[in-house]
Structure 1
Amino acid sequence: MKRAKNVLLIAILLFLTSCASITKFPISSTVPAAEITAKTKQDKNKNYSIEVTAKYLASPERLNPPKNNYNVWIVTEENEIKNLGMLTNKNAKTAVLKTKTPFKVVEIFITAEDQGNNSFPNGLEISRTNLKR
């Protein structure tokens, strides 16, 4: 009986540590209708899966000044900034970016940019969230 309790406890602990963490971005003053979340999870290879979902995000062409796309960036534990890629429209209401990175993520932020392949953000920052707790 005691062994079964220990196995159950270990299974519960493994389940809780394998769950993804979901973080909501604060309301943006630039696109206040947007509801943005980031789901992060570390896989068995110590990489981080990141899924950023933005609902009701205005088209970047409607911003002032107009831009071409939204880029997702991370700040790593070493305080480096990395471009994860562009949010792509899943449907009329939702834009998504799913990716993996080997870097431990401290912050995620979104900018409106003219180009999607920038190595450093230089556009309008839309929103930022801190993953440190």
Structure 2
Amino acid sequence: MKIRVDLIGRNILMLSMLVFLFSACAQKITFLNSAVVPSAEGTITIKKGKNNNYNIDLDVKRLAEPGRLTPPKTVYVVWMETAERGVQNIGQLSTSTSTFSNMLSSSLKTVSPHKPTGFFITAEDDAKGNYPGMTVVLKTGPIDL
């Protein structure tokens, strides 16, 4: 009986250590509530790779089509704030639905050599701009990696 209890305790300890190691490797950040698209929810997972780049995985749900905003826009653009390089355009979001759900969802996966300090999404007329417009749809708080 004592041997079985020791094995269970050791297995629980090993599992706890594995969960801690995996959670220490990646940080998940939630976007703040939006006044522009109140139903939108989003998260960003950031993981520093072996080569010191930052792997960024962004997921957003219930983001309205940009043409339905007031005023209507063409595209959503994701911006990353960094201490070294300021604000950078890291990509465009496109909304889609799955075959099993009518809920709009968007995702973006990218890699950056720069340490992020924050993220925000704007509605734009052009995806290739170097500077964000005024319609901020979602924003994170400050990020400390």
TM-score (norm 2): 0.77
The 1-side partners of 2:107 and 2:19 are apart by 30
Q: What does residue 39 of structure 1 align with?
A: 45
Q: 1:18–1:41: 8 Å Cα contact kept in structure 2?
A: no
The aligned runs of 1:86-125 (5 Å cut-off) are 86-91=92-97, 92-125=103-136
Q: Give aligned pairs, total.
A: 124
The RMSD of aligned alpha carbons is 2.2
Question: Following TM superposition, by how much is the alpha carbon of 1:17 offset from its aligned partner in structure 2, in angstroms?
Answer: 6.8
The 1-side partners of 2:21 and 2:110 are apart by 22
76-85 or 51-60, larger mean C-alpha shift = 76-85
Question: Following TM superposition, by how much is the alpha carbon of 1:73 offset from its aligned partner in structure 2, in angstroms?
Answer: 0.3
Q: What does residue 3 of structure 1 align with?
A: none
Which of the pair has more CA radius of gyration? 2
Residues 13 and 114 from structure 1, CA distance in 2 versus in 1: closer, same or farther, beyond 3 angstroms?
same
- State the 4+ residue runs in structure 1 displaced beyond 3 angstroms: 11-14
Residues 65 and 76 from structure 1, CA distance in 2 versus in 1: closer, same or farther, beyond 3 angstroms?
same
Q: What does residue 33 of structure 2 align with?
A: 27
Identity of matched residues, %? 36
Q: 5+ unaligned residues in a row in structure 1: which ranges?
A: 1-7
Q: 2:79–2:119: 8 Å Cα contact kept in structure 1?
A: yes
Q: What does residue 74 of structure 1 align with?
A: 80
Whichever residue aligns with residue 65 of structure 1, its letter is: P
Question: Following TM superposition, by how much is the alpha carbon of 1:93 offset from its aligned partner in structure 2, in angstroms?
Answer: 2.0
